[in-house]
Every structure is written in C-alpha cells, then in structure tokens.
Structure 1
C-alpha cells in the first residue's frame, strides 16, 4: 500500500477534472454570489475596540481591498459540499470492486452529519446499504437527513477515536466497506470539484481569483481545492475555529508536525476532527496551501449573523470560518493589503454547508 506522501504526488488537477466528469449527473452546480456590503465591511479597517485584547491592540489596523465571490455549497445536495466526495468515492469503489460486491457488503462511515447525509444519499441513489456512525450530539436536522435516505444510524461519542471504535465494531459484524469522511484519495478529488466549478463560473464572466479560502476540519475540502489550484496562480488558504484547540492544522503547521487528536465542542461542529494523514501531506505543502488561520467563537457568530442578515443566506457556523478570517484576522488582512495593493484581491470563499436549524440559530443568538 502506498504511503500518504506517495498518494499526495498523484493528486493532480487532472484527477479533479476526471472526478467532475464522473459525478456531474449526481450533483448540483451551486451558485456564486457577491455582496457589496460585505466587500465594504472587509475593506474597512477594524476599530480599536475590535482589536483590543488581541496581539494587534494599539497597532494601525490593516486596510485591504477585498472583493468576495461566495461559492454556495450550502445549496448543494444534502446542504453541503460533501455530496461531491461521497458520490465520487462510491462510484470509484463500484468501479474497483464491482457492483455486486459493494451492494452485498454495503458501505460505512463516521460523521457529525454532512458526510453522513452525503454518503447516505449516494448509497441510496446507487442501491447500496449504508451504515453511518454519528456522534450523539449531532445536529437534529443532520440526523433526520441521514435517516431519510435509509441509512442505518448508530450513535457514538463525539471524538474521532470514539467514532472509529464503533465503526470497527460494525464492520466486524457486517463486512461493510469504509468510506472515510475526509482522509481518502477519492474524497479529496471529489471535494476539489468545488474549486473547478468556481473557477469555471468566474472565467465565464472574465474574472479570476487571487485567493480562495475554505474551512478545515478533516481537510478534504481544502486539500481538494489546493489540488485543483496547484498548477495555477490562485493562492489557497485554510480557516479553523480556535476554541478548545480546534485549530489543530494551524498549530500543527506552526510546530512542523501533524496533531493527531482533537477534542473540542466548537460551534463549528463540522470542524471538530483532526486533519487526515493524506490531507496533511497536501495542506502542509506551502506550494499548495499558503497559510491556515483561526478565529474565535464570537467571530464565527458575528460572521454568521452578517451572512444571515446581509446576504439572506442560511449557513451553518462551520461554513463561515473562512469569511471570518477575512474580516477579523489582521495577519491575513495585512497580507491582502501588502500583496493586493490598490487593486486588492478577489477572494473565493467556500460556504461549505447550510445544515442548521431554526432552533440552533436561536440558541446561538438568543
């Protein structure tokens, strides 16, 4: 079996293009939105009060020029980009193992909700039994969505270690084939089609991105996006919550070593997992990903409120961490100011999902 480093060498833009060709009949081409109000807010210096208590307190705030292009994967099937990777991984599995074997054994995964729903949908569409392990604290709408596609759900603890233990137990009884939520070659290629589609949509109107930023949980989306843009000039960045060490990727890059375990209850529930081994090989390559930044729970909430009220777009907390970095992280903002100059940057922001509920939103802002 090849090592993660060897597999990473095979991740190319051509692989992402091949994935897109395969999954196109099964996914939505999601819209790209702009918003002048958010451009204006991002291009305005932060106030002294906003910088108080941060490492930038008392310093002159950055004044970048930013134009956003929001890739709305919250409007993807099952409400998240995960449908891309799940369909691609399952279709490749059927190509590799044969339809009869895959339908007989079924597939299994663990997920807080978005990959759970995505694999349940893909399995239902392709006539394959699906066994899904979900944390007991998963959002009710994600549980309901997974169950609606006919998957057999088993609940577990919230950490990746607890999830994986339950997966192993079910596999021993059923023989189901594991399709991991993020640390998987075909998952990464599938998620990378988000970038391919975004770049194509902007090219149609004569636009090109200077940078793109995505959330990072397990890292499949960021690694896929970085794979697609690896032979292009667009810079790729990642974003994480900082709460209770959820910024494992940022900290790992700082330390020069992948962090293996994460235990956090950040409101960005889709970002509570450590970066996968293969994803780390991509994200830790500075030629592919130029930086990862982290934001606080309050910054995530403030950003989510802006998107709900100013864009009229429903997103889950995990989806807005990239935008929060653009609005609040002075290191990132200073880089845009320095490198973008008077022209500024066109930044693609991936809204990764919209699977929340009215009750969850009310609890956040009540």
Structure 2
C-alpha cells in the first residue's frame, strides 16, 4: 500500500465524509511546548474517524456482496460507522459489541438501525460472535482495522491534515496518532511516509499492543487492562497495520488515565472541543512535553463520550488544565 491508495480513497469518499477542521490553540501550544495542529475527527460523521474507513470499505463491495448484509465487531465507533455505511447503502447490519460498551455508543448504533449482538469484553470474543453471524447469514465482515480499504479510508484524515497545514504555510515535523487495532496509524503512516513526517503512536500503558510489537519486531498479543480509552483496547494490532507501522513509526508514547483525563479537559477548556478519552490519547502524549519545539499534528480521533464521565473528569482535572 502507498499514499496513492489513500488519495484514491479520498476521491471515492468525496461528499460522503466531512472535511473536519484543523484547529490551533495558543494555550495548548504553551502547555505542550510545541506547535500543535489538531485534526478534529471528533466532528466527523458518527463522531469519529471510523466513518471514513467503513464508508470506503462498504462502498468498495459489489452490490451483490452488500445485499447479503454487513457484519462487524467493535467496541463502539467502528460499530456506528458500519451501521452508518449500511444505512447509506440500504443494507442490513449486525454488530458484535462488548457487554461493557459505553451506553452512548450502543445508543448510536441502534439509532442507525443496526442489530447488536453483545459478546464478552475482548476483541477476540467480539470477532468470534461476528463470524458466527456470518456463518448463519452469509453477510460480509467489515474488519475494524486489518483491511486495505479500511486503512486507505482512515488515511484520508491525515491526508486532509497535511494538505491543510501546507495550505496555511507550514509543514509538520511529527504526527501523533492514537492506536487501537492500527487502522488510523497505518493510514497515517502511508501519508506521512510520502511527506517525510515522523509518526509516533499513543496508547494506554495497560493496552500497548503496538508498542510491545514494535519492541519485539513482531506482532505481540496483550491482555487489555483497565483504561478510560475504551476504543484503544485490542488484543493485538492487525497484520497489515503492523506491516505498515513497523517500517514508519519512530516511537511510541504510553499514556495513563490521568494523562487522558487532563488532555480531555484541557482540550475542552482551551479549544472548546469535546473528545472521548481515546480521542485524547495523541494530545496527552503531546502535552507530556516529549515533542517540545516541534510542529506536531495530533489526530483527535473521536468524541463519543458519556456526559457523566466528562463531568467527573472536569471535577478532577479542571484546576490542572
């Protein structure tokens, strides 16, 4: 895969996804000691970048394949994205979600008309449930991340970011990307590789499948631990995703719940934008000061968060932002 695949995906997605804004905040720059360029995918359709990959992948299916229905397994944002794509193309969707999925994401999937099957708490349990549905219905699985069409679709977020920064007379030195299964970072790497931009991953320290895999030189499975970032809890990163990331990613940042909470609150107070904890991971890494003095692109990957959690984090971190 290359940046040409991402450019082709951008052409196919024209008119189907939002060209989300790129935000600047002097207050956040000061906190990070860096020039931050924030790509607000929290303002994308269904509130997350996942709409890009799902609409691209489902759109690339033959009408005959789509007509049998689409199936996926997801903790929430990809679930909503596939439900959206199914509605747009007029086909049924069945989604395997974890039993502990945030209520706001479950409600979003149901509002889009998809059927939900609840299955365990890990991505492997959800995947097994999705395969069982496929066996019963003959529907097509839309993989959450380990798929070339998904990767190319997700890469369009970074493509837009790089284009916008250049149009405004600047150029990124680095890019920080939240990582779950690796769809977003693999797409970002295809774009950044062509533009000579260093890429860094951001993961919860309790669910650091990519960081461990990069250190080992091969994909490593992890047992996901507790984290506020419900969208960043893979057992392992995808095979295609790791193949791309392993040749491009320069380093990994691991962020804990306090850092995620502080980043979420700082973004809300200083940039007036709300993200979910998973969407705050890249900013949390930047606010650590590790990229001081650089021009840094930060992907704010999603904004589907429980209001009660926002209230709790504001009470805990507002005085630190």
- Pairwise same-fold verdict (TM > 0.5): yes
Question: Does the residue aligned with 1:163 lie in a helix, a strand or coil?
Answer: helix
Q: Give the Cα separation in 2 of the matches to 1:301 and 1:349.
A: 16
The 5-angstrom pairing of residues 225-264 of structure 1 reads 225-243=188-206, 246-264=207-225
How far did 1:206 drift? 1.4
Query: In the alignment, does 2:26 pair up with 1:77?
Result: no
* Among candidates 289, 298, 302, match of residue 353 of structure 1: 302
Question: Relative to 1, partners in 2 of residues 1:152 and 1:207: Cα closer, same or farther, differing over 3 Å?
Answer: same
1:87 has 2:36 as partner: no
Give the alignment partner of residue 307 of structure 1, picking from 267, 283, 300: 267
Partner of 2:239: 277
How many angstroms apart in 2 are the aligned matches of 1:264 and 1:272?
8
CA RMSD of aligned residues (A): 1.3
State the SS of the aligned residue for 1:271. coil
- SS where residue 284 of structure 1 aligns? helix
Report SS of the residue matched to 2:143. Answer: coil
Structure (1 or 2) with the larger CA radius of gyration: 1
How many pairs align? 314
Residues 261 and 277 in structure 2, CA contact (< 8 A), matched pair in contact too: yes
- CA deviations over 1:58-98 (Å, ceiling 9, x no partner): xxxxxxxx10000000000000000000011011113xxxx
Structure 1 equivalent of residue 91 of structure 2: 128
**Residue in 1 aligned with 2:3?**
13
Residue 66 of structure 2 corresponds to which residue in structure 1? 102
Per-residue CA deviations over 1:318-338 (Å, capped at 9, x if unaligned) read: 011111112226xxx2xx45x
Contact 1:242 1:297 in 2 (8 A): no
- Specify which of 16, 34, 42 is matched with residue 24 of structure 2: 34
Residue pair 1:108, 1:132 contacting (<8 A) in 2 also: yes
Partner of 2:250: 290
**1:188 Cα offset (Å):** 0.2
Question: Do 2:208 and 2:222's aligned partners in 1 also have CA atoms closer than 8 Å?
Answer: no
> Structure 1's 261 and 242: CA in aligned 2 closer, same or farther, altered over 3 A?
closer
- Stretches of structure 1 that go unaligned for 5 or more consecutive residues are 1-10, 44-65, 338-343
Asked whether the equivalents of residues 35 and 296 of structure 2 are also in contact (C-alpha less than 8 Å), the reply is yes
TM-score scaled to structure 2, two decimals? Answer: 0.95
Q: Which residues of structure 2 form unaligned runs of 5+?
A: 316-321
